Each structure stands twice: as C-alpha cells, then as structure tokens.
C-alpha cells in the first residue's frame, strides 16, 4: 500500500508500477488519503490529493521515448530589408576597384611597351643610317641592358635571381637563338626601311607553325592554317611593291623570324619549372647573348672598322651621334624588359594582340618620321599581313 507520497519530482520506475497492479487473489489495494499538494503539471500524468493515485500513462516515467532529445526549434524571421547589406556592397566595391586597377596596370604596360619600342626603332635607324655597323650596334644594345641589370642587382634596386648551372645550361640554346634573331633584325634595318622590316617580321607566326609542324610534329586546328594565308600573302605583296627593296634586308628579317621561333621553342622546353621570370629572366638572357656576340662582332667588323667609321660619322653628324647610340642601346633593353614584365600580368593571347598592335605603331610612326614613300599596294599588303597576324593569335588560342 502507498501510505505517503513525498513532494518530489522523481519518476517511478516500471517495476514499481508493476507492483501496483492488483493480485489475482481478489484483494483490492487500499489507499491512504493524501494531503492536498500543489504540484506542477506533468505531461500525460495526473496527481490528485483527494482521489486515489492512479497512472494514466507511463510514457513520462523512464521510458526510452522520454530520453530522446527534443528537436531544436528553428525560428524563421524575415530579413529586415530596411538595413543595407554593407558587407556585400563593400566586397563588390573592392572587386570592382581591383579589376579597374588591373586594367589600368595592363594599359600602362602596353602604352609603355609600345612607346619604348617606337623610340628604340627611331634611334636605332638613325644610328644605322649614320654609323652602318649593325654587329657593333647589336652588341652595344645587349651591353647596355646587361650593365643596367648588374648595377641594379649590386645596389639592391632589383632582387638578384637565384640561378645554378642547370639554369644557365638550359638558357644557352635560348641565348643562341636570341642573339641570331637580334643581329639579323639589326642587319635588316640597316639595309631597308624600318616599316619594311616589321612588315616581314609580322610573318613570324607562319614560321612558328611550319617549324612546329614539320620539325616537332605538332598539329594545329584548321583556322590556324587558314590564318597563315593573309600573313604570307600580305608579306609577299609588301615585298614585291617595296620601292627600296634589298635582298640582304629581306633575308635578315626572314632569318630573324626563324631564330625567334626557335628561341620560343627552346624557352618552352628548357625553362619549365624555373623560378626566374620577368625582367630577371631577360637580364640573364641579355648577359649570355652578349658573351656569345662579342667574339663574332669582332671577327665580322672589328675595332679598326669601328674606329674609322666613328670618326667619319662624328664629323658628319656631330656629337649628337653619341646620344643616338646611348638612346638606342638603353631603349632596346627597356622595351624588352617591359614586354617580359607584362607576360607576368597578362595571358598569351593578350600578349599576342599587344605584339600585333606594337607592329602597327612602329610601322606607322616610322613612315611618318622618316617620310618613307609608300605605295597604296604596299600599304594594303602591310595591312593584310598585320590583320593575318591578329587572326592567327585568335585561332591559336
């Protein structure tokens, strides 16, 4: 019999409940009256002080269901649209500013690249007209760039590259091709107009495709091959209609195209995984090319011819010839350095388009400054060749 109930919230176990059931003997359990208690309501259970204690449900007494954790109540509230989303707006503003800054940076690179290239070609042509020694001129261009970078490394203006023997070994074939291409282009400009040299040099993609196809076994999509038609046709039309055509100048530009194609191939094969890039890579290339070029320049032209030609040129032009030589040497390095630096910021396709536009700026500016006579058919051929180069850059990518 239950004679008393303590004021407790402890739950009764299932065995205790079983003992409360009446026995089969027919004896009915008696209950003691309970005092009036003020107890909190229990779910599914009733406790009364004036009636016998009975159990209406056992779910709340130690069953497994009562031990289950209740699901969290998720309260959904509508967003307060009266408050602006400051975080999203700020993030979008930062992205827009970063994109604008990147476009401005690329634009500055391109403008500087084209301007320096135009200035170099103007002073280079002036030097070659007054002092026709292309091997020495090419050597001075590489020497100026090498000296500038060595001084920058010593004074810690630029961080010196970390190189090893393997780096210089892989750089050697690149430097050989770069030296040949540089000298051949200078020889070409000493014999023909700057505009004609650059029109022929715009045919470099045709050499790239042909060398890669027949020597390396690479295949290209049909649009790439079709883009070669206007390039080759435009160059041929310009060459046939050139008023001051010279075979040495024409062959120099062609050899320069072929050499630079091999330079690009060797760069892709030998420079994979190397940490040296940008202006330091071109600086190392200039230093090795200079060391390769010096003995050949001495053998082909020689100090005696240089000294004699210098006296004659200074007598005709004056001391400003010194400024011309210094300017073409410095600007050659600067425009190449900026072009290599731009490769770190833009894609190859954008670089190809920029290189095409550079050719146009050089051709037009040289015609205006040097008053090069151009026939309409010659101008048409140049336009077709340059447009074909643009189509090639699009199809290649």
Distances (CA, A) of 215 to 81, 212, 225, 348: 66, 6, 16, 23
Indicate whether 139 belongs to any domain. Answer: yes
Which residue reads 């940490």 in tokens?
Answer: 275
Range ranked top by mean pLDDT from 8-12, 114-118, 129-133, 280-284: 129-133
Indicate whether 70 belongs to any domain. Answer: no
Residue 317 pLDDT > 80, yes or no? yes
For 252-263, the pLDDT digits (tens) are 999 999 998 888
Give the span between the Cα atoms of 109 and 130, in whole angstroms.
32
Indicate whether 100 belongs to any domain. Answer: no
Give the span between the Cα atoms of 248 and 213, in whole angstroms.
27
Which residue reads 């011309």 in tokens?
Answer: 324
Give the span between the Cα atoms of 309 and 243, in whole angstroms.
28
Residue 72 pLDDT > 70, yes or no? no
For 144-197, the pLDDT digits (tens) are 999 999 999 999 888 888 888 888 998 999 999 999 999 999 999 999 999 999
Indicate whether 25 belongs to any domain. Answer: no
137: exposed, middle or buried (Cβ count in 10 Å: 0-12, 13-18, 19+): buried
Indicate whether 9 belongs to any domain. Answer: no
Indicate whether 119 belongs to any domain. Answer: no
238: exposed, middle or buried (Cβ count in 10 Å: 0-12, 13-18, 19+): buried
E strand residue ranges, the chain: none
| Number of structural domains found in the chain | 1
Give the span between the Cα atoms of 244 and 238, in whole angstroms.
11
Cα-Cα end-to-end distance for the chain: 95
Indicate whether 229 belongs to any domain. Answer: yes
Q: Which long-range contacts (CB under 8 A, 24 or more apart) does 207-212 make?
A: 207/257, 207/258, 207/261, 208/261, 208/264, 211/258, 211/261, 211/262, 211/265, 212/265
- Kind and range of the H or E run holding 135: helix 134-154
Indicate whether 4 belongs to any domain. Answer: no
| Confidence category of residue 207, pLDDT binned at 50, 70, 90 | confident
Q: Which long-range contacts (CB under 8 A, 24 or more apart) does 368-371 make?
A: 369/122, 370/125, 370/193, 370/194
Give the span between the Cα atoms of 387 and 376, in whole angstroms.
16
For 271-308, the pLDDT digits (tens) are 555 567 667 888 999 999 999 999 999 999 999 999 99
Domain enclosing residue 290, as ranges = 133-396
């Amino acid at each position: 019999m239950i004679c008393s109930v303590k004021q407790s919230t402890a739950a009764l176990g299932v065995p205790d409940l079983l003992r409360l059931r009446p026995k089969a003997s027919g004896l009915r359990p008696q209950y003691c009256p309970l005092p009036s208690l003020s107890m909190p309501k229990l779910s599914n259970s009733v406790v009364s002080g004036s009636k016998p204690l009975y159990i209406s449900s056992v779910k709340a007494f130690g069953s497994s269901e009562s031990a289950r954790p209740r699901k969290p109540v998720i309260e959904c509230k509508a967003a307060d649209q009266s408050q602006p989303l400051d975080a999203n707006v700020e993030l979008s503003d930062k992205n827009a500013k970063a994109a604008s800054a990147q476009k401005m940076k690329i634009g500055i690179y391109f403008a500087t690249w084209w301007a320096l290239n135009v200035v170099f070609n103007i002073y280079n042509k002036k030097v070659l007209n007054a002092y026709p020694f292309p091997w020495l001129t090419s050597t001075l261009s590489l020497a100026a760039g090498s000296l500038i970078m060595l001084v920058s490394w010593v004074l810690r203006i630029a961080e010196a590259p970390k190189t090893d023997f393997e780096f210089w070994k892989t750089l050697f074939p690149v430097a050989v091709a770069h030296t040949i291409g540089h000298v051949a282009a200078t020889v070409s400009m000493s014999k023909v107009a700057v505009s004609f040299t650059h029109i022929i040099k715009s045919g470099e993609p045709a050499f790239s495709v042909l060398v890669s196809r027949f020597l390396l076994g690479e295949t290209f999509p049909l649009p790439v091959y079709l883009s070669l038609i206007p390039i080759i046709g435009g160059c041929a039309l310009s060459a046939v209609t050139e008023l001051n055509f010279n075979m040495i100048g024409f062959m120099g530009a062609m050899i320069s195209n072929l050499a630079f194609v091999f330079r690009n191939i060797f760069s892709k094969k030998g420079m994979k995984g190397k940490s040296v890039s940008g202006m330091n890579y071109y600086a190392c290339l200039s230093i090795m090319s200079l060391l390769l070029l010096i003995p050949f320049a001495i053998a082909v032209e020689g100090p005696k011819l240089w000294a004699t030609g210098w006296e004659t040129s200074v007598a005709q032009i004056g001391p400003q010839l010194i400024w011309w030589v210094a300017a073409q040497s410095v600007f050659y390095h600067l425009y190449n350095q900026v072009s290599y630096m731009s490769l770190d910021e833009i894609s190859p396709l954008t670089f190809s388009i920029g290189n095409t536009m550079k050719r146009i700026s050089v051709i037009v500016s040289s015609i205006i400054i040097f008053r090069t006579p151009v026939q309409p058919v010659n101008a048409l051929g140049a336009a077709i060749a340059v447009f074909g180069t643009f189509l090639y850059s699009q199809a290649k990518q």
